[in-house]
Amino acid sequence: MSAFVPNCRVTILDTAYITDTNGDEKPNDVVVAEHLPAFWAQKDQRTKEPTSGEWSVTRGYLVRLRPGTVITENQRIRRESDELTARVNRVERNSPLALSGDVVVRAVQISR
């Protein structure tokens, strides 16, 4: 039994590329799984650019999924309530955050 309380539903996507009528390649998301219960939390990270000294914020997310959920790095995860899409950059199955076997995903916001 999972230890988290879901606060949204998500869709997992693979990115394939299609060729349009002009011969240009464009990304086309392929649904891998949809309507999965998840706990989605925002985890921003502030970093300082060494050359300019400017601060920037990387919008990040921590998403907890049910045990056994199949998801891999570089896939995309979309929150169904508002269509916010993030790129998966790390999947943790055996971490202190992965209570009761939950799959913990760290992702960053992307723009399309």
pLDDT digits (tens, 9 = 90+) for 38-49: 999 988 778 778
The mean of the pLDDT values for the chain is 83
Name which of 4, 21, 18 is nearest 69 in CA terms: 4
Q: In this predicted structure, what is the pLDDT of residue 108?
A: 83
Q: In this predicted structure, what is the pLDDT of residue 82?
A: 92
pLDDT at 1 over 50: no
Name which of 65, 111, 55 is nearest 86 in CA terms: 111
Tokens 């169904």 belong to which residue? 80
Q: In this predicted structure, what is the pLDDT of residue 111?
A: 54
Count of CB atoms situated within 10 Å of the CB of 37: 16
Higher per-residue pLDDT: 57 or 6 = 6
Prediction pTM value: 0.74
* 38 in Cβ contact with 65 (< 8 Å): yes
